[in-house]
């Protein structure tokens, strides 16, 4: 259960909406370290985490007049950092089978040209399917498959139930399977071994 916004946080937001920069500074000092740790836990890069947190505060100030915070300000900022961190990961990583056989640049010699083309097509189909997932579903799927986090770890990181995690991963896998079911049995077996 998310905490409601505190009286102190409401006061900070009201002052900030009125253009009081000192209110932003108070929020920054209060949550900066916590948010950097949150970003670092997802990106694994301390400097990038700091950059992402600074971006969140910049957006907070820029959009201060329109922002409506229903939960605690801490939870609101945490969610913003998590989203930015996941977006950063998405730009840095693409799905890879973890096997050079599936790298179009270094195909295994035992694979025929046809197999290599199929493998390349499969990768494209897979990435397209992942990109098409709804935002929440994609975030959970990426943390599970890219970052190798457990359902419990993802639940803590995103502040949602493990049941929701299970449901979203099941939904994602169904979409992914549908996207690749036209490919041959060898490709599907490799997919199952590497991914599911």
pLDDT of res. 106 = 41
Which of 46, 150, 42 lies closest to 86, judged by CA? 42
The angle that helices 7-17 and 21-43 make with each other, rounded to 10 degrees, is 110
Domain range list for the chain: 7-92, 100-194
Share of the chain above pLDDT 90, in %: 5
> Averaged over 61-78, what is the pLDDT?
86
- For the stretch 30-45, pLDDT in tens is 999 999 998 888 888 8
Query: Helices marked H in 63-161 — which ranges?
Result: 73-92, 113-132, 135-145, 151-158
The structural architecture, per CATH, of the domain 7-92 is Orthogonal Bundle (1.10)
| pLDDT of 161 strictly over 80 | yes
pLDDT of res. 103 = 43
- For the stretch 72-122, pLDDT in tens is 888 889 889 988 888 887 776 544 444 444 444 444 444 455 555 666 677
pLDDT of res. 35 = 92
pLDDT of res. 89 = 78
pTM higher than 0.75: no
CATH topology for 100-194? Answer: Arc Repressor Mutant, subunit A (1.10.10)
């Amino acid at each position: 259960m998310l905490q409601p916004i505190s009286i102190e946080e409401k006061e900070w937001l009201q002052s900030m909406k009125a253009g009081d920069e000192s209110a932003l500074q108070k929020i920054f000092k209060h949550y900066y370290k916590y948010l950097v740790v949150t970003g670092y836990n997802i990106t694994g890069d301390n400097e990038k985490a700091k950059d992402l947190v600074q971006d969140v505060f910049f957006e907070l100030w820029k959009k201060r007049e329109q922002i409506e915070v229903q939960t605690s300000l801490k939870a609101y900022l945490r969610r913003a950092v998590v989203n930015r961190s996941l977006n950063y990961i998405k730009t840095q990583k693409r799905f890879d089978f973890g096997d050079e056989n599936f790298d179009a640049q270094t195909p295994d010699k035992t694979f025929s040209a046809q197999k290599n083309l199929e493998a390349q097509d499969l990768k494209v189909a897979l990435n397209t399917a992942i990109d098409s997932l709804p935002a929440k579903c994609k975030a959970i799927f990426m943390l599970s498959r890219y970052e190798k986090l457990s359902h419990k770890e993802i639940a803590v990181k995103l502040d949602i139930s493990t049941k929701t995690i299970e449901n979203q991963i099941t939904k994602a896998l169904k979409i992914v399977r549908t996207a690749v079911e036209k490919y041959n049995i060898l490709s599907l077996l490799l997919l199952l071994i590497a991914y599911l």
